[in-house]
Chain A
Amino acid sequence: MKRSELLTRILITVAVLGAVGTPLFLWARTPLIHAKVAEDGGWSPDVIRANAGEPLTLHLTSDDVVHGFAVGQMDMQGVDVLPGKVADITLTFDKPGIYTFYCTRWCGLNHWRMRGTIEVSGSNVDTQPVPAPLYVSLGLDIDAPHDAPILPSQKPSAIRGQKFSTNLPILQSPDFYRSHSPYQLFDELTSTSFTESQRWDVVAYVWQSNATPESLANGQRLYAQNCAACHGENGAGNGVFADDLAASGESSMQTMTGSEDMMMQTPVDFTDPARMLGASPALLQGKILRGGMGTGMPMWGSIFTEEQIWDLVAYLYSFQFNYQGAVR
């Protein structure tokens, strides 16, 4: 063989091996967390291990559509995970435990199923017991029907209600507000001299006085990001996925033997007064915390902080009441 031929062969072999080997080597050394819609597998990997107190850097990428990344109960700003791009985020966990990370940008009907866990190990194991949520300590059955039997004839107004409330010694404490439904307060006011409509206005005022403008604004933001796609931007239960949910409920009924209340349902209508005025904040908190258990309503307990849930609950009542300087 001539020298030129030999050299050419060597050159080509090296070039081809380099073209294959270099990217392969670099690829193998770049561990990415891939995001895909839940139907295609969600997060991969979906379990991440870390040590308490040590910074954890994650490289996130999406394999299909726009996703987002955030860790539950950390009150952090989510990171957008864009298709084919890599987003870096560094987290430090102070306490050991199991954290939930989740997708923050709606990516289909099963968006909320896109969750994973970060297992943080460490020596200072937190033995403090988590206090039971309010609906549990109150013994509420959050799946029982709770419709208000009497409904206001017009939308209750906190502005009007304020005028009547001045000489009422009630019950401004958060504990009362959280454990009572609007109807229960309305009922307790029977002994007063107010008309029905006035009593509803007082209720509206009490509910508003338990919500700061900041918490309502925060609740509104959380609602738009997490709830509106199903429950509708106006709360009427007619979000863009409402029909898909109902349809997938019907199809699941054909293939599964399940009880009616365990199937995917159309989302709850927050503009329905019977339902909302009969529900206490504790009950709504319970629904959000625990989720709908198979109805398509996600479990938010591992995602939202307690504060965030109360903000959200406060915002939900704004579909029923006219608030002063109202957010809506």
Chain B
Amino acid sequence: MNSRFFLLLLAAAGLVVAFAPFPVQSIAPQERTFRIEARQFAYSPSEFKVNPGDTVTIQLVSADVVHGLYVDGYNISVEADPGQTASLTFIADKPGSFRFRCNVTCGAMHPFMIGRLTVGTNSWLFRSIGLAVLGLIGFFPFSFHKERMLVEKR
């Protein structure tokens, strides 16, 4: 096989893996409410999943000091004092995995007070794994060729 053609094929495959629309089984959107308790320096629960299109309400309960909750990618946030539950409602219209994090300075480890919201499947992770596999596939024939030649020489 022409190696240039092979590389081209590989690049095309990479583009497909990175950008091709993911098959999604559509689930009727629901309304979901999560009660998330915030303490220095963790959320509980710290990971939750919704389906794309769901109307999500986060009830943020701070259990020690004032905390916030900011959702990466959605750029929305809410702040709650202890004793005053705050709620944040949004439509989970962007699929993927997003970190949510405290956006009200709450002590030393505040920058690392992080949780995870998954909307549908974390397709980018699978695409990335696909790209990694593809990268190695593209790499192997070349390397083996060279390696074999080396061994033969020996």
- A65 and B82 contacting across the interface, CB-CB below 8 Å: no
Q: Which residues of the partner chain B approach A82 to less than 8 Å between Cβ atoms? A: 105
Dominant secondary structure at the B interface: loop
**B64 CB-CB contact with A under 8 Å:** yes
Report the Cα distance A239→B83, complex, angstroms. Answer: 6
Q: Which residues of the partner chain B approach A105 to less than 8 Å between Cβ atoms? A: 66, 81
Report the Cα distance A64→B109, complex, angstroms. Answer: 11
**B78 CB-CB contact with A under 8 Å:** no
Number of A-B contacts (CB under 8 A): 56
Given the contacts A66-B105, A224-B84, A233-B85, A108 and B65 also touching, CB distance less than 8 Å: yes
**A107 CB-CB contact with B under 8 Å:** yes
**A133 CB-CB contact with B under 8 Å:** no
Q: Which of A37, A106, A241 contacts B81 (CB 8 A)?
A: A106
Report the Cα distance A177→B13, complex, angstroms. Answer: 81
| Contact digits for B38-65, partner A, Cβ 8 Å, 1 yes 0 no | 0000000000000000000000011111
Q: Which residues of the partner chain B approach A227 to less than 8 Å between Cβ atoms? A: 83
Interface residues on B, range: 10 to 19
Task: Report the minimum CB–CB distance from B77 to chain A (whole Å).
Answer: 14
- A106 and B83 contacting across the interface, CB-CB below 8 Å: yes
Interface size on A, residues (CB 8 A): 23
Task: Report the minimum CB–CB distance from B37 to chain A (whole Å).
Answer: 8
Dominant secondary structure at the A interface: loop
Task: Report the minimum CB–CB distance from A267 to chain B (whole Å).
Answer: 11
**B107 CB-CB contact with A under 8 Å:** yes
- A107 and B66 contacting across the interface, CB-CB below 8 Å: yes
**B104 CB-CB contact with A under 8 Å:** yes
Most central of B104, B105, B106 by chain A CB within 10 Å: B105
Q: Which residues of the partner chain B approach A106 to less than 8 Å between Cβ atoms? A: 62, 65-66, 81-83
Report the Cα distance A208→B84, complex, angstroms. Answer: 25
In residues 13-46 of chain B, which contact A (Cβ within 8 Å)? 37
Task: Report the minimum CB–CB distance from A123 to chain B (whole Å).
Answer: 41
Q: Which residues of the partner chain A approach B64 to less than 8 Å between Cβ atoms? A: 107-109, 240
Q: Which 9 A-B pairs have the closest CB atoms?
A: A229-B83, A228-B83, A106-B82, A66-B66, A83-B105, A65-B65, A229-B82, A240-B63, A107-B65
Q: List the interface of chain A (C-beta within 8 A of B).
A: 37, 64-66, 82-84, 105-109, 111, 224-225, 227-230, 233, 239-241
Would you list 10 pairs from A and B whose C-beta atoms are within 8 A, ordered by A residue? A66-B104, A82-B105, A83-B105, A84-B105, A105-B66, A106-B65, A225-B81, A229-B82, A239-B83, A240-B82
User: 10 additional contacts, CB 8 Å, given A65-B107, A107-B64, A109-B64?
Assistant: A65-B66, A65-B106, A66-B66, A82-B105, A224-B84, A225-B81, A225-B83, A228-B83, A233-B84, A240-B83
